[in-house]
């Protein structure tokens, strides 16, 4: 990877050569033949391209366009109201896309210019949106959580419910951060000069019905047992397409772009995931996973210290790799250790997603920061955006401490819905 090989190619290459050394060329060729088919032919994986298609159709048809306007109309009177509106807008967009990068890019185009026009501090404005974009990995449908559930053999529906809890808590933590900072230092976020009548407030709510229908349809169907998490992907893609057709907001060109981007993203994700599965097989043949688990168990390391070490690893990896790449690269090694230590894998999946999303903000390669920079252009420097995210990272770390001390904050809803 340091030589700039794509992650998937690096994983597949190292695993193939490793199996060849340990078990011979026939075993290596057998793994290279069988693993890609066995992995990609898994029925539950079909939800990944379907949820991606739902997100791209929602984006290209503008189904999420009214989210920020509605949040601004209702919340602009609060301290840092436009920033609060950006956070709730990002949370709604996350429900329609499942992507942190898409979330940050969309909100960056809409919300940052509006905040700067209302004399908000540029670093504060961009920091809010960069941080709010990370909610996309938690609020369902999250591609990160789908892949984790398949690999760790944790029910995806339960992960969605746990992610919903953590995502809403993250949004509330960010809102509290914005309001406290705006109160302590009003120059960061002056009161916006926006007057909205009661009729206008009700009118803007009509623009957010597509997202409410999408999220309500998916989560309602899952909760009532109408369809499985795998089938929810197909239902979500169909529902997004039907809504876009009814609104007449999706052109033929937009539909073609949605299909093309879905195919490209799915192919890239699956190549990395195949590489991770190859690495799992290589580690199983070598015995390294069991040896490492046994070694850590023999040391008698306190689970909290073990969790701290794994968290540190994900924070460092997040500085250089995208969240899905970091997760797929490490799960073959981390999962046996976690099972041996007795961690709840559902709870850990949400904690891992939080750490990976913090990595999307940390220098030198905070991906969400550079996405915001590419969207806003010369309005603000990269250094200013990194300064703007510091307080939101503090809020994230405080929330993770709370989730570790009180795991029921994640688990109560999945347990309640069982």
94, 103 Cβ separation under 8 angstroms: yes
59, 97 Cβ separation under 8 angstroms: yes
Q: Quick one: pLDDT band at residue 13, thresholds 50, 70, 90?
A: very high
How many domains is the chain built from? 1
Cα gap 167→276, rounded to integer Å = 27
Q: Quick one: pLDDT band at residue 314, thresholds 50, 70, 90?
A: confident
Q: Per the domain annotation, does 231 fall within a domain? A: yes
Cα gap 416→279, rounded to integer Å = 36
Q: Per the domain annotation, does 314 fall within a domain? A: yes
Nearest to 63 by CA among 33, 21, 90, 93: 93
Residue 132 has pLDDT above 70, yes or no: yes
Q: Per the domain annotation, does 284 fall within a domain? A: yes
Q: Quick one: pLDDT band at residue 46, thresholds 50, 70, 90?
A: confident
**Total residue length of the chain:** 418
Q: Quick one: pLDDT band at residue 127, thresholds 50, 70, 90?
A: very high
Q: Quick one: pLDDT band at residue 293, thresholds 50, 70, 90?
A: low
The stretches of 4-135 forming alpha helices (DSSP H) are: 7-23, 25-40, 47-60, 66-75, 81-97, 100-117, 122-133
Q: Per the domain annotation, does 27 fall within a domain? A: no
- Count of other CB atoms within 10 angstroms of residue 195: 8
Q: Per the domain annotation, does 19 fall within a domain? A: no
- The predicted structure's pLDDT at residue 98: 66
- What 325-329 contacts at long range (C-beta under 8 Å, 24+ apart), as own/partner pairs, is 325/7, 325/272, 326/356, 326/359, 327/144, 327/147, 327/148, 327/352, 327/356, 328/7, 328/11, 328/147, 328/151, 328/272, 328/273, 328/275, 328/276, 329/7, 329/11, 329/276, 329/279
Cα gap 108→116, rounded to integer Å = 11
Residue 144 has pLDDT above 80, yes or no: yes
Q: Per the domain annotation, does 9 fall within a domain? A: no
Residue 194 has pLDDT above 70, yes or no: no
Q: How far apart are the first and last CA of the chain?
A: 42
Boundaries of domain holding 220: 43-417
Whether the model clears a pTM of 0.85, i.e. scores above it, the answer is: no
357, 167 Cβ separation under 8 angstroms: no
Residue 189 has pLDDT above 90, yes or no: no
Cα gap 263→258, rounded to integer Å = 9
Percent of the chain surpassing pLDDT 90? 30
Q: Per the domain annotation, does 145 fall within a domain? A: yes
Q: Per the domain annotation, does 148 fall within a domain? A: yes
392, 361 Cβ separation under 8 angstroms: yes
């Amino acid at each position: 990877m340091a030589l700039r090989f794509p992650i998937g190619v690096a994983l597949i290459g190292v695993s193939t050569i490793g199996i060849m050394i340990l078990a011979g060329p026939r075993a290596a060729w057998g793994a290279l033949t069988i693993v890609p088919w066995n992995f990609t032919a898994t029925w539950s994986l079909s939800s990944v391209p379907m949820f991606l298609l739902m997100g791209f159709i929602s984006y290209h048809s503008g189904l999420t366009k009214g989210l920020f306007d509605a949040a601004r109309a209702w919340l602009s009177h609060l301290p840092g109201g436009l920033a609060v509106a950006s956070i709730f807008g990002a949370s709604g967009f996350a429900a329609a896309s499942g992507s942190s990068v898409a979330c940050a890019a969309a909100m960056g185009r809409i919300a940052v210019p509006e905040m700067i026009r209302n004399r908000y501090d540029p670093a504060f404005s961009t920091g809010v949106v960069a941080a709010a974009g990370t909610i996309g990995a938690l609020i369902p449908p999250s591609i990160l959580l789908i892949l984790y559930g398949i690999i760790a053999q944790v029910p995806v529906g339960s992960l969605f419910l746990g992610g919903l809890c953590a995502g809403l808590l993250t949004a509330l933590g960010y809102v509290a951060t914005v309001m406290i900072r705006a109160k302590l230092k009003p120059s960061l976020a002056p009161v916006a000069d926006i007057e909205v009548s009661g009729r206008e407030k009700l009118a803007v709510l009509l623009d957010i019905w597509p997202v409410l229908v999408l999220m309500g349809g998916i989560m309602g169907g899952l909760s009532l047992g109408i369809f499985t998490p795998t089938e929810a992907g197909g239902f979500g893609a169909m529902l997004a397409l039907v809504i876009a057709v009814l609104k007449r907001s999706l052109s033929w060109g937009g539909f073609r772009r949605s299909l093309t981007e879905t195919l490209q993203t799915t192919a890239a994700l699956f190549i990395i995931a195949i590489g991770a599965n190859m690495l799992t097989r290589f580690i199983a043949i070598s015995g390294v996973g069991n040896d490492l688990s046994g070694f850590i168990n023999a040391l008698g390391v306190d689970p909290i210290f073990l969790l701290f070490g794994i968290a540190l690893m994900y924070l460092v990896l997040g500085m250089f790799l995208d969240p899905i790449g970091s997760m797929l690269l490490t799960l073959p090694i981390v999962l046996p250790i976690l099972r041996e230590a007795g961690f709840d894998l559902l709870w850990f999946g949400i904690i891992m997603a939080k750490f990976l999303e913090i990595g999307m903000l940390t220098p030198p390669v905070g991906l969400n920061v550079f996405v915001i920079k590419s969207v806003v252009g010369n309005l603000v420097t990269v250094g200013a955006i990194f300064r703007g995210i510091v307080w939101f990272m503090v809020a994230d770390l405080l929330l993770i401490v709370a989730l570790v001390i009180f795991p029921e904050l994640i688990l109560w809803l999945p347990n309640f819905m069982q």
